[in-house]
Amino acid sequence: MVAKRLRLRGKIVNSDESTATRERITIRTVAAHAGVSVAAVSKVLRNAYGVSEALRGRVEASIDTLNYRPSRTARGLRGSTFTIGLLLVDIRNPFLPEVIDGVNGVLAPSHYRAMIGVGEARTQLETSLIESMIDYKMDGLILVAPRLPSDVIARFAQQIPIVAVGYHDPTAELFDTVNCDDQRGAALAVEAFLERGYRRISMLTFGARDGHRVSVVRQREIGYRRTMEAAGLASDIEIHSVPVLSPDREDSIRAFISRPHRPEAVFCWSDLDAVTLLNLAAEMNIRVPEDLAVIGYDNSPVAGLSLINLSSIDQSGRALGVIATETLMSRIKGRQEPVARTTPPRLIARRSLSHAEKS
């Protein structure tokens, strides 16, 4: 029998050599044969998002020719690094440090540590960070409000345990979800306004972006709309979407409250825009809550400052971080069935919401 011989950068490899010899064919051997980088081969092996068909074809042809099989020993190393990846949507949100605190609180007594990446709400960056975390053989990932489509997260979840926080996908089977009941949170805000006699109640929401279908923003919009309809105020429903980027964002909010027939009360999707709204109201001599009542969402630390005194829906970021970490650890230990955990919200009433019924 004539052995097939391959020349790789001056080295001769026999394709029908013994098993021991074939095991010396590594991912670097494949990369050299295909004329691509080791990272490119890794992406093909992981079925990573964004790999072109041309690149996939070249790498798979080399894998077949070399009879390459990924090392089972290397695969088994996953689970021994004692690190988890924590991907945050945007570090500027004051709610996120509470989530981090919850994660670290669970990990502190263990050998595990969290490595943080910031996706900046950009799909391509989020994908790249997840791939890097997988390459570094982290044991599992917690994704906070990711913008990625569910099928992309599911594909990553076939390679590494994943829990998505702030991601409403009831059909998720390969990864777990942990959420506040955001529809109920919005309902609590609208109900608080209604109890105090407000009727012209608007919602300030975030401009739709990738992943809006499964985002907390959409769930809060649904909760606002349904509660207004149930109160017989369907004709008064107004959802004002602010642009994603500043300074257009601030200009949009200013125009929203400077209209002759501005709303009596505003439910904001997040404290981020609620605080901006309060600041602009002060600049424009609009009294809060006498002329305009405001409720935010997240109950971030800034909401409780005496100069801010913002009423807000508390979803307990720390509790979400704790639950997400505990859920991920059970995945790492071998649980297969999907879990969808939900926490209850509560209203924290402060000065931006009148305590008495509106006259």
**pLDDT-based confidence at residue 161 (cuts at 50, 70, 90):** very high
More confident call, 11 vs 185: 185
* Phi, psi (degrees; rounded to nearest 5) at 149: -60, 150
Average pLDDT of the residues in 306-322: 96
Q: Which among 164, 95, 85, 141 is positioned nearest to 117, based on CA atoms? A: 85
The percent of residues in the chain predicted with pLDDT above 90, rounded, is 65
Please give the domain boundaries of the chain with CATH numbers for all domains.
5-75 (1.10.260.40), 80-180+317-343 (3.40.50.2300), 182-315 (3.40.50.2300)
Check pLDDT > 90 for residue 25: no
Give the per-residue pLDDT at 224.
98
Residue-wise pLDDT tens digits, 199-257: 999 999 987 666 678 999 999 999 999 999 999 999 999 999 998 766 788 999 999 99
Residue-wise pLDDT tens digits, 176-198: 999 999 999 999 999 999 999 99
DSSP string spanning 16-54?
T--HHHHTT--HHHHHHHHTS-HHHHHHHHTT-TT--HH
Give the per-residue pLDDT at 211.
67
Q: For residue 263, what are the contacts with CB-CB under 8 A and spacing of at least 6?
A: 200, 201, 202, 238, 292
More confident call, 119 vs 12: 119
Residue-wise pLDDT tens digits, 86-124: 999 877 788 899 999 999 999 998 878 999 998 876 778
Lowest mean pLDDT among 27-31, 160-164, 233-237: 27-31
Mean pLDDT of the chain: 87
Alpha carbon of 181 to those of 184, 280, 320, 342: distances in Å? Answer: 5, 30, 11, 6
Per DSSP, helices labelled H in 203-295 are 216-230, 248-257, 271-283
pTM: 0.77
Give the per-residue pLDDT at 93.
81
